[in-house]
Amino acid sequence: MPFVHETSNKLAHNRILANPKIKESLSKYKVKCDPGEFTEKIQEKFIDITPLRYSCSSVFSIDSGFDFVPVNERFPSAEVGFMQFSLNLVKLAERSKVVVNGIVNPIEYNKITNAHTHSLDLPIFNTSIDGHSNLTDSIRFKINDYFKSSRTYNNESPSLLDTLYLLLSEDDIARNFNCIEDPCKKQFAAVREKSKNNTMEWKESKKLLKKEDFNNANKTAKCPFCKRELLLIDYLRLHETIDEEFGARGILSRLARVVEQLYPINLIMSILSQKNRLGKDHCLKTLSQIAFILDGPLAIFGEPAKVSRSIHRYLLSVNEMLMDYSLEPLVFFGLTKSGLVVDHVNLLLEHIKKKSLVGSYEKRLPKSKILLIDDEYRFKYIQPKMGSGSFGAETYYGQDIVYFDPNGKPYVINVMYPVDKSSKYFRKMFFSHVSYKNLGKIAALINELEVDIYENALLPIVLAHKYASISLKPGVSSLEDFAKSIIS
Instruction: State how far the Cα of 161 lies from the Cα of 145, in Å rounded to an integer.
Output: 9
Q: Percent of the chain at pLDDT above 90?
A: 55
8-17, 180-189, 391-400: segment of lowest average pLDDT: 8-17
Better-scored residue on pLDDT, 69 or 150? 150
Residue 313 Rama label (left phi>0; alpha psi -120 to 50; beta)? alpha
* pLDDT value for 220: 98
209-250: per-residue pLDDT in tens? 999 999 999 999 999 999 999 999 999 999 999 999 999 999
Which is higher by pLDDT, 145 or 449? 145
Helix axes 251-272, 307-324, angle to 10 degrees: 20
Report the b/e string of 209-238 with b at 16+ CB within 10 A. bebebbeeeebebebbbeeeebbbbbbbbb
Give 94's DSSP letter: G
Per-residue pLDDT at 105: 61
Evaluate the omega torsion of the peptide bond into residue 474 and state whether it is cis, within 30 degrees of 0.
yes
- Computed on alpha carbons and rounded to an integer, the radius of gyration of the chain in Å comes to 25
The pLDDT of residue 471:
45
Q: What is the DSSP letter of 367?
A: -
Helix (H, G, I), strand (E, B) or coil at 399: strand
Minimal CA–CA distance to 313: which of 191, 417, 393? 417
| pLDDT tens digits, 53-62 | 888 888 898 8
What are the C-alpha distances in Å from 436 to residues 193, 217, 382, 439?
38, 39, 22, 6
Comparing 268 with 488, the larger pLDDT belongs to 268
Beta-strand (E) ranges in 243-381?
290-295, 331-336, 369-372
Query: Which H or E run contains 400?
Result: strand 398-404
Backbone φ and ψ of 85, nearest 5°: -115, 130
- Exposure pattern of 283-313 as b/e (b: 16+ CB <10 Å)? bbeebbbbbbbbbbbbbbbbbbbbbbbbbbb
pLDDT of residue 159: 96
95 forms beta bridges with none
Q: Read off the pLDDT of each residue in 187-198 and give the average, rounded to a whole number.
A: 82
The confidence score (pLDDT) of residue 195 equals: 77
The whole-angstrom distance between residue 98's C-alpha and the CA centroid of its chain comes to 27
**How far is residue 404's CA from residue 348's CA, in Å, rounded to a whole number?**
12
User: What residues form DSSP beta bridges with 475?
Assistant: none
Q: Looking at the predicted structure, is the pLDDT value of residue 366 above 70? A: yes
How many Cβ atoms sit within 10 Å of the Cβ of residue 328?
A: 16
CA distance 323 to 329: 7
Note whether 429 and 419 are within 8 A (CB). Answer: yes
pLDDT at 456 over 70: no
pLDDT of residue 165: 98
As a whole number, the mean pLDDT across the chain is 86
Q: Where exactly are the structural domains of the chain?
A: 34-108+271-488, 127-246
This prediction's pTM: 0.88
**In this structure, are residues 408 and 366 in contact, taking their beta carbons and an 8 Å threshold?**
yes
Candidate from 99-113, 361-375, 397-411 with smallest mean pLDDT? 99-113
- Confidence (pLDDT) at 480: 55
Q: Model confidence over 307-348: pLDDT tens digits?
A: 999 999 999 999 999 999 999 999 999 999 889 999 999 999
Cα of first residue to Cα of last residue in the chain, in angstroms, is: 30
Q: Which pLDDT does position 62 carry in this prediction?
A: 87
pLDDT category, 476, cuts 50, 70, 90? very low
Ranges of beta strands (E only) in 128-284 are 220-222, 229-231
pLDDT in tens, 94-114: 655 665 655 556 556 566 667
- Quote the distance between the C-alpha of residue 311 and its chain's center: 12
Mean pLDDT of 277-302: 93
Confidence of residue 200 (pLDDT cuts 50, 70, 90): low
Higher pLDDT, 251 or 193: 251
DSSP 322-337: HHHTT-PPPEEEEEE-
How high is the pLDDT of residue 99?
59
Length of the chain: 488
pLDDT (mean) for 283-300? 94
146-172 per-position pLDDT tens digit: 999 999 988 889 999 999 999 999 999
Percent of the chain with pLDDT over 70: 83
Residue 400, pLDDT > 70, answer: yes
Checking if the pLDDT of 40 tops 90, the result is: no
Instruction: Of 326, 332, 342, give the one whose Cα is nearest residue 411.
Output: 342
Query: Of 178 and 155, which is predicted with more confidence?
Result: 178
Of the ranges 93-102, 114-123, 214-223, 296-305, which one carries the lowest mean pLDDT score? 93-102
Residue 472: the pLDDT is 46
Region 34-43 average pLDDT: 78
Residue (of 143, 221, 209) closest to 178 by Cα position? 209
Q: What is the mean pLDDT of residues 27-42?
A: 76
Task: Report the C-alpha gap between 150 and 16 in whole angstroms.
Answer: 52
Who's near 158: CB < 8 A, 6+ residues apart?
151, 166, 266, 269, 270, 273
CA distances from 317 to 148, 167, 170, 171, 330 (A): 24, 11, 16, 17, 11
pLDDT given for residue 94 in this prediction: 60
Q: What is the pLDDT of residue 361?
A: 73
List, in sequence order, every residue forming a beta bridge with 89; answer none if it has no partner: 60, 114
- What local confidence, expressed as pLDDT, does residue 160 receive? 97
Give the residue from 323, 141, 306 showing the smallest Cα distance to 232: 141
